Amino acid sequence: MPTVSLSFLNRGKVKQVCRVCRGIAELKTERLCADCARIKAQIRSRFSDAARGTMMTSAEQCKRSGCACDACGVRTLDSHPFYPSARADRREIHFHPRCHELWVEAVTGWDARADQVINS
């Protein structure tokens, strides 16, 4: 039986390693795969304080499993970073390790373009 080549479907699409999740994919902005770029955009829209850099940045480790990640909404399976509530009217904020890395970038204002210039 002859095989059919579908290489024409990938023409012009270069796959590279995402700098956060290390997955091989067509990269979007800031050298992120589509999933990481989506999560980072959700963080910026859900946490306007984080996007302005006004939230605290030192996380603790949560040992519970089944906490909902505040960045992507998926439940955690292992220990993960979280931010305890400093005020009575706010709840804890939990993240997957990958989502936490994207959170820290949003809080600190990391600039992918500057990193590309330095590493070039």
Residue 75 tokens, joined: 């439940």
- For residue range 38-79, list pLDDT tens digits in order: 999 999 888 777 656 556 657 899 999 899 999 999 999 999
Share of the chain above pLDDT 90, in %: 43
What are the residue ranges of helices labelled H in the chain? 34-46, 48-52, 97-108, 112-119
What predicted TM-score, i.e. pTM, was given to this entire model?
0.72
At residue 79's C-alpha, the angle toward residues 115 and 95, to 5°, is 50
- Average pLDDT over every residue of 71-90: 85
The one-letter code for the residue type at 99 is C
Model pLDDT, residue 61? 94
Residue 73 tokens, joined: 């909404």
Q: What residue segments make up the domains of the chain, in order of their start?
A: 13-115
CA dist., res. 79 & res. 68, Å (int): 12
Model pLDDT, residue 119? 45
